[in-house]
Structure 1
Amino acid sequence: MFPEHCSVRKKGRDCPMPPEFVISVKSGDGEYMVGVTCDIHKNTFTEKLELLQREGKVPQGTISFTGLKPVGTSCIKVNPDDLIEL
């Protein structure tokens, strides 16, 4: 499951846009998903990841953006008894 909104937060407020890309870092020992972003914040996320890579907080590697495709189906039915209230 993905979040309903972009992972970027500016001035204490979450971006209201839905995610359009999964962001991952491809390194020699694997691929790490680090978040989701909308098209507007793609460059902002890249700049932040590059900074975190220089600081050693994120593995070195290629930053990759994979487009998300919405999928809809009418075959999934939810039983109200299966829902968990938090």
Structure 2
Amino acid sequence: MYSMFPERCSVRKEGKDCQMPPEFVISVKSNDGEYMVGVTCDGHKMAFTKKLESLQQEGKVPQGTINFAGLKPVGTSCIKVDPNDLIQL
């Protein structure tokens, strides 16, 4: 199964990447749109919030509401194609 999201939490602590899978997409909702800023596991949710608030105060991240949306895994069976059904271009 392929994913458009990173396989792991976006947090790096003491030079080491978190090895937990992401559980939330983090975004900032501002007056001019919503910006995805990363993914996090439940254990780093508060740390990520504090860091985003600090970056907002520094003007590096747009002002707005920090939003956490839960990720829901979706699976599908492999789709097999008969080579005779393909169209040659």
TM bucket, shorter chain: 0.7 to 0.9
**For residue 5 of structure 2, what is the aligned residue in structure 1?**
2
Q: TM-score normalized by structure 2?
A: 0.84
**For residue 66 of structure 1, what is the aligned residue in structure 2?**
69
- Verify: 1:32 aligned to 2:38, yes or no: no
The DSSP-based 3-state class of the residue aligned with 1:51 is helix
Greater shift after overlay, 19-28 or 67-76? Answer: 67-76
**For residue 52 of structure 1, what is the aligned residue in structure 2?**
55
**For residue 19 of structure 1, what is the aligned residue in structure 2?**
22
Give the drift of 1:75: 3.1
- Structure 1: where are the runs of 5+ without partners? 78-86
Q: TM-score normalized by structure 1?
A: 0.87
State the distance in 2 between where 1:37 and 1:69 align: 13
Percent of aligned pairs with the same residue?
Answer: 83
User: Any idea what the Cα deviations from partners look like across 1:6-29, whole Å, max 9, x if unmatched?
Assistant: 000001110000000000000000
Q: What is the number of residues matched between the two proteins?
A: 77
RMSD, aligned CA: 0.9
Give the drift of 1:61: 0.1
